[in-house]
Structure 1
């Protein structure tokens, strides 16, 4: 049910801009931002930065997916994600999970799944995930990537890192 808080913000399922053009959080909300985060990119960090002001709390959930072959174990990736978060972001938690994201969310009492959209091509896949999660009892909120961050996906970041490590040294021997 929707309602108004004492500051004139819609609560219970919607977010509105405040008078100073900031965003008011959905009171009592817990959002989950799932992904493999291999690696955790500046785009991922930006999405967490924006989601953490919309929702009271956010969990960055590292999905453990047997179909994907991450470059590091989930605990190592989780530590890297934690290291990427400023200490002042006290409402952000990092966790790992094997299984359906919706099951994790329902078990933790989350109110929404947050997903990022980099391009229009992402929408088809994300729509299918959102429809499945809705059938399982979880709503999805999509946040678009900032234009300057759309070019770098985790796949591109891994390929770049791999190319850099395979590249011969540029130091000339005399």
Structure 2
């Protein structure tokens, strides 16, 4: 039986923290699906197509059977569609745990055949959040230490196109 794991997120943009979770999560299952979605409560910097392309490029060097798929549904419906038995979620801090614990409980109520597994982010990567990366970039700060090099170039290009705040 093939064990399938799903790692959902907006990946706007994909960070070194996401990449750490992808590398480690892919080792836990036979097939690892990175689910790229849009969160209606967030304002994306990149389109879903741009995020899919970026994530696909970055995971191409990661060992394992990894697929990158867009989804726009309940996570548990997506997990079921992918044949997943595990949802992988990364944790950075206590605040993440509280939110993720609540989500895992709700997801368990929706579909108790899929377990949620939490992976702690590497200590050096714990402060990284896509939301903060975007904010730093929009105010002209350097984000190269938080994202892969190609993603840094994409962010710079986007910020140049839309203009910096505070200028």
Q: Do they superpose with TM above 0.5?
A: yes
Between Structure 1 and Structure 2, the one with more strand by share is 1
Structure 1 residue 97, shift from structure 2 partner: 0.6
Q: Please tell me whether the aligned partners of residues 63 and 97 of structure 1 are also in contact (alpha carbons under 8 angstroms).
A: yes
Aligned to 2:146: none
Deviation track 1:112-163 (CA, whole Å, cap 9, x = no partner) reads 1000000111111000110011111121000000100011111111111111
- Please say if 1:103 is aligned against 2:77: yes
Residues 1:49 and 2:23 aligned together: yes
Could you tell me which residue of structure 1 aligns to residue 8 of structure 2? 34
* Partner SS state of residue 75, structure 1: helix
Matched, 1:134 2:125: no
Shift of 1:107: 1.5
Alignment deviations for residues 24-50 of structure 1 (CA, whole Å, 9 cap, x no partner): xxx621000001111100000010000
The 2-side partners of 1:88 and 1:37 are apart by 16
Bigger Cα Rg: 1
The range that moved more, 61-70 or 99-108, is: 61-70
> RMSD across aligned C-alpha pairs, in angstroms?
1.8
Contact kept? 1:130, 1:140, Cα under 8 Å = yes
Instruction: Call closer, same or farther: CA 1:167–1:30 in 2, change over 3 Å.
Output: same
Supply the distance in 2 between the matched residues of 1:84 and 1:162 (Cα, whole angstroms).
23
- 1:1-174 aligned at under 5 Å gives the runs 28-87=2-61, 89-137=63-111, 138-164=114-140, 165=159, 166=164
CA distance 1:167–1:73, shift in 2 (3 Å)? closer
Task: Write the deviation string for residues 37-94 of structure 1: whole angstroms up to 9, x where unpaired.
Answer: 1110000001000011111111110112323211111111010111112345351110
Q: Structure 2: which 5+ runs fail to align? A: 141-158
Q: Between Structure 1 and Structure 2, which shows a larger proportion of helix residues?
A: 2
